[in-house]
Structure 1
Amino acid sequence: MKVEACNPAPAWLTKEYLEAIFRRYKNDDGLHIKEIDIKPASAKGDNYLSVMTRLKIKFHLSSNTTECGSYIVKSTYEADVLSAKIIKGYDLYNTEMVMYDKILPKLSQLLCEIGDCTKIFANTIHVDYDNSAIILEDLAVFNFRTANRIECMNETETKLVLRNLAKTHAAAAVLNERMPGVLNRLKMGMHNRSTTGFAPYFEGMFEVCAKFAGDCATLGPYYRRKILQLKPRVMDYCRSVHEPPQSYFHTLLHGDLWTNNILLRYSAEGAEGAKQLEDAVLVDFQFSNWSTPAVDLHYFFNTSLPNELRIDRQDELVKHYYSVLANTLTKLKYEAPVPTLHDICVQMEAGRFYGNQGSLASTVIHQAVMINDKTDDAELKNLVGDDESASNFRATLYTNKRVQENIKRLLPYFDRKGLLDVPQ
C-alpha cells in the first residue's frame, strides 16, 4: 500500500475496512483486495474543508476474475484544531453525508421518472457516519475534469452547469412536496444563526479589499470608506439573503457552487480536433440548505465566470436557467405555482441588494480565494484565523492581478447598484 506523506490517508482506511464495504457494494462475500494505491486527490488551494483521497484498488472476485476500480474518499479535516472546530460548528460533514446517502439518489430518481437520466451527481459507494467519510466513484476515470479555476468558465460550460443546477433545484422542490419537510429542515449552509466561525474570513477579506481600494488610483478613499463601513455588517447581510420571504420560490441549494465543485467531461477529439462538452457533474454538498435559488446563482456567477458573462450577459444566463427550471417543474408536476421569470429576477435583485452575499460578498470574499495563484499557505486556518499568518495570507490574495482588475471594475458597478450603501 502506497501513501503520500504530504496528505496521509485516515488511519482507519485499511484493507480490511475496504473489503467489508466493497463486499456489500458488489454483493460478493468472496471478494478480496489484492492491491491498494492511496494518494491525495487534491492540491493546496483546491479544497479547504475536507481531506480528499484517491483509491485505486485491484479486486479478486468470487468468479475467479480480477477487477480494478478507482474511488474518492472524502473525510474530515483534522490537521488543525481551530479549523476542525469551525467546520464542526457548521455541521458540514453530517450535511454532506445526508446529501449523498439520502437526498441526491432521490433527486436522480425523480428526474429519471420524466425520462431525464442525465448524470448530475457522482454515485455514492458508501457513507460512514462513524468516521464522517464518504466513498464515491472517481469520475476522473470517465474523463471528468474541473475547469481552470484561474481562467473561469466559458459560455458553453456555464450554460450546461446552469441547466443541471436548474434540474437539481426543480427536483428538490418537488421532493420536498412529496416528502414534506425532508429538505427545508436543512438550515445551516454557509450563513446561519448558529455559528459565526467564518466571520474572521469574511470580515478580514473586506478589510483587505478596503486597503486595496484605498491604495488604488482609480478607486481611492471613497471606496475604502464604503467597504470599511460594510465590514462589521457583512455577516448579518449574508444571513439575510439565506432567509428570504416565505412567498419566494424555495429549493435546496448546492451552497458552494464554484469551478472546483463542478466536474466537466468533453468528448474525444474529432477529425478536426474539436471537443464537445458532454456532461457537468456537481460535487461537494457540505453547505446545502433550503433557501432561494438566487443564492446559488449569485455565488456561481461571481466566483466562476469572467466579467463579460457575469455582468454583460447575466440576464441572458438567468433566463437560460429559468427556462430549464420551469420546464422541469412542469414535467415533474410541481403542485405549487411555477415561479415566473419575473419572480426569479425579483429574487436575484433582492439577493443582490439586501444580502450582499449575492454579488458583492461573492466577489470581494470568495472569488479572491478561488482564483488564488499563490497556494503555499492555502489552508483553512489562514482563512479563518486572526493571527499574523492569517492576515498575511488574506492580504496575499489581493496581490493577484485578476482579483485587482475585477475589483477595479466591479466596485463602481456595485456602487451604482447601491450595494455599497449602509442603510440608515
Structure 2
Amino acid sequence: MKDIEYQTAPLWLTTEYLEPILRKYKNDQGLFITKMDIKPATKKGDNYASVMTRVSVNFVFSSKEREHASYIVKTSHESDPFITDIMSQYDIYNTEMLMYQQVLPKLTELLQEIGDKDKLFADTIYVDYEHSAIIFEDLSVLKFVTPDRLVGMDEAQTMLTLKKLAKMHATAAVLNERMPGVLTKLQRGIFNRQTCGFAPYFEGVLEACADFAGECTSLGSYYKNKLLKLKPHVMEYGMRSFEPHHGDFLTLTHGDVWTNNVMLRYNYSGSRDEKSASGRAIKDIMLIDLQFSSWTSPAVDLHYFFQTSLPLEFKLHRENEFVKYYHGFLSETLLQLHYKGHIPSLHEFCVQMESHRFYALVSSLCNQAVLINDKTDEADFNTLIGSGERSRKFHSLLYTNKRIQDNAIALLPYYDRKGLLDVTE
C-alpha cells in the first residue's frame, strides 16, 4: 500500500490550462496570464479525501488592465490507486462536481427569489469532469478563515453554521419539489448500501475506543466488551441511521459538515452583536466541501456537526437549544418558498433526531477522533482506511487525545442509557 507523504499539484495545472478558463469566466478572449504561483491549500491532517491547491494568478485584460486573483483547485488523489479506488466507490468527485456546477447555483437562486441575500457557498469558476477537478473562488482572499479544528466551535460560530445549514436544507427540499428526481439520485453518503469501503476505518477506530475504555478506570471492561460486540455491526447500524426513516422530512444533506468545512469571516471593527469567544464579531460563514452530499434526513447533518465540531459541554447540555434554533430557520425558509410538503413541527423534528441517534455515536466515537487528531505525522488516507499494523497503531493513537478521551468518558454512558451500545436483530 503506497503512502502519500505530500501531495503535489496536478501536472496538468498549467498556464495553458487555466488561461482559457479565465478568458471564459472573465468574458475576455484577449486575457493572458503573466504569472502563476501554485502551492498546497491545506496541511497534513486537514484533508483526507482530496487534494487542495491554491493558485495565485496575475493576468492582463484586452484593455491592458491588470488584475491579481487567487483560486482554489480541488482535485482527486489521481496519483494513488488505493485512494482512487475507495473514493470511486463513494462517487465523491462526481457528486461534488454536480453540486458546484448545477445544484448550488440553483439553491442560491431560490434564496434570491425570496429576497434573502445570504450567500451559502463559494462561487464556482469551472468544473472539469475530465480531471475530476473544481475551481472556485479563494475565500481566504475575502478574509474567510477556518476555525481551529482542535478547539471546536463557540456559540456564535455554531449558530451561524446552523442558520446557513438550515437554509441549504430548506432550498434543497424546495428544489427537489420543483425538479423531481434531481437530488434524490445522490445516494453515496459516508454510509450507503453500495459500498462498505470505510469499514476498516469505522471498525478500527471503534476497537481503539474499546481498548481505551478497557484501560480507563471511569469506564472499564463493561464498555470495552459492549464496543467489541458492536464492532462487527457498526457499518450496518451506521447505514440504518443514515438512511431515511418512515415519516422523515427529507432533503439534500451536506454530508460532512464540521469545523474544517466551514469558513468564517470576522468583522474586526467589532460593530456586530454576534461575538465569538475571542471577542471578534462574526460577519459571515460559508459551507464548503460537499462531496458526500446525499438525499436523506437533515438529522444526520446535525448529529455529525454537533459531535465532530462542538465542545463537550455543548453536546451534553445545549443540543435541544441548537436544534430549536436550526428548526426556526428551516421552517421559516420553507414557508417563504411556499414548500408544498409537510413542514415538521419542532416536536416532530426532535423525534426525527432521536430516531437517527446512532449517527451521533459513530460521529463522536469514530469521526471526531480523526478530525481533531493532533498527531499528524502518520495522518494520511492509506493509514486511516487500512487494516494492517500501521493502521491499528494509528487508530490507537487517536485515543491518546485528551479531548477524545473526555468525550468517550462522558458519552459512552449516555449512549448506553439509550441502548445504542446494544446489539439487536
Band the TM-score falls in, shorter-chain normalisation: over 0.9
Distance, in Å, in 1 between the alignment partners of 2:336 and 2:271 is 38
Residue identity opposite 2:282 in structure 1: L
Provide the residue aligned with 1:389 in structure 2: 390
Distance in 1 separating the partners of 2:345 and 2:271? 43
Partner of 2:325: 320
Aligned to 1:423: 424
One-letter amino acid of the counterpart of residue 362, structure 2:
A
Inter-partner Cα distance in structure 1 for 2:265 and 2:299? 26
Matches within 5 A, 1:7-406: 7-270=7-270, 274-352=279-357, 356-357=358-359, 359-406=360-407
Q: Deviations for 1:89-120, whole angstroms, at most 9, x for unmatched residues? A: 11000000000000000000001111112111
Provide the residue aligned with 2:275 in structure 1.
none
Work out whether residues 83 and 384 of structure 1, in 8 Å CA contact, stay in contact via their aligned partners in 2: no
Tell me, in whole angstroms, the C-alpha distance in 1 between the residues paired with 2:297 and 2:174. Answer: 15
Helix, strand or coil for the counterpart of 2:147?
coil
Distance (whole Å) between structure 2 residues aligned to residue 274 and residue 393 of structure 1: 36
CA distance in 2, matches of 1:206, 1:379: 19
Question: Taking structure 1 as the reference length, what is the TM-score of the superposition?
Answer: 0.96
Deviations 1:136-156 (A, max 9, x none): 100001110111111110011
Query: Cα deviations across residues 200-226 of structure 1 (Å, max 9, x unaligned)?
Result: 000001110000000111100000011
Counterparts of 1:246 and 1:25, CA distance in 2: 44
Percent identical pairs in the alignment equals: 55
C-alpha distance in 1 between matches for 2:141 and 2:16? 24
Change beyond 3 A, Cα 1:331–1:270: closer
**Aligned partner of residue 86 in structure 2, secondary structure:** helix
User: Residue 80 of structure 1: CA displacement?
Assistant: 3.0
2:349 is matched by which residue type in structure 1?
Answer: I
Q: CA RMSD in A?
A: 1.4
Alpha-carbon separation, structure 1, partners of 2:121 and 2:244: 27
Q: The residue matched to 2:317 in structure 1 has which SS?
A: coil
How far 1:159 sits from its partner (Å)? 0.6
Shift of 1:327: 0.3
**Counterpart in 2 of 1:412?**
413
Partners in 1 of 2:166 and 2:270 — Cα distance? 30
Q: What are structure 2's unaligned runs of at least 5 residues?
A: 273-277
Alpha-carbon separation, structure 1, partners of 2:247 and 2:216: 42
Secondary structure in 2 aligned to 1:39? Answer: strand
User: CA shift at 1:229, angstroms?
Assistant: 1.0
Query: C-alpha separation between the residues in 2 aligned to 1:378 and 1:312?
Result: 32
- 1:167 counterpart letter in structure 2: K
Cα deviation for residue 401 of structure 1 reads 1.0
Distance in 2, matches of 1:32 and 1:145, equals 30
Q: Distance in 2 between matches of 1:80 and 1:102?
A: 28
SS at match of 1:311: helix
Is 1:80–1:381's contact at 8 Å kept on the other side of the alignment? no
1:369-409 CA-to-partner distances (Å, cap 9, x unmatched) read 11110001111111111111111111111111111111111
Letter of the 1:308 partner, please give it. E
Structure 1 distance, partners of 2:8, 2:328, is 45
